[in-house]
Amino acid sequence: MSRAAITIRRMEPGDLPEVERIQTSSPEASQWKPEDYLHYESIVAELAGRIAGFAVARRLPPDEIEILNVATGPSSRRQGVGKALLRELLNLHEGVLFLEVRESNSAARALYEAAGFREAGRRKNYYAKAGIPAGLREDAVVMKLQK
Ligand SMILES: CC(C)(COP(=O)(O)OP(=O)(O)OC[C@H]1O[C@@H](n2cnc3c(N)ncnc32)[C@H](O)[C@@H]1OP(=O)(O)O)[C@@H](O)C(=O)NCCC(=O)NCCS
Measured in whole angstroms, the distance separating CA 5 from the mean position of its chain's CA atoms is 20
- Cβ atoms within 10 A of the Cβ of 28, count? 14
**Span from the CA of 110 to the centroid of ligand 1 (angstroms):** 7
| pTM higher than 0.85 | yes
Strand partners, 50: 47
Active site residue 20: no
Model confidence over 94-113: pLDDT tens digits? 899 999 999 999 999 999 99
Give the domains, in start order, of the chain with CATH numbers. Answer: 6-146 (3.40.630.30)
Q: Which residues of the chain have pLDDT under 50?
A: none
Identify the residues whose C-beta falls under 6 Å from ligand 1.
26, 28-29, 53, 70-72, 77-83, 101, 105-108, 110-111, 114
Residue 132 has a pLDDT of 63
Asked if omega into 62 is within 30° of 0 (cis), the reply is yes
Of all protein residues, the one whose alpha carbon is nearest to atom 21 of ligand 1 is 107
Q: How many other CB atoms are found less than 10 A from the CB of residue 134?
A: 7
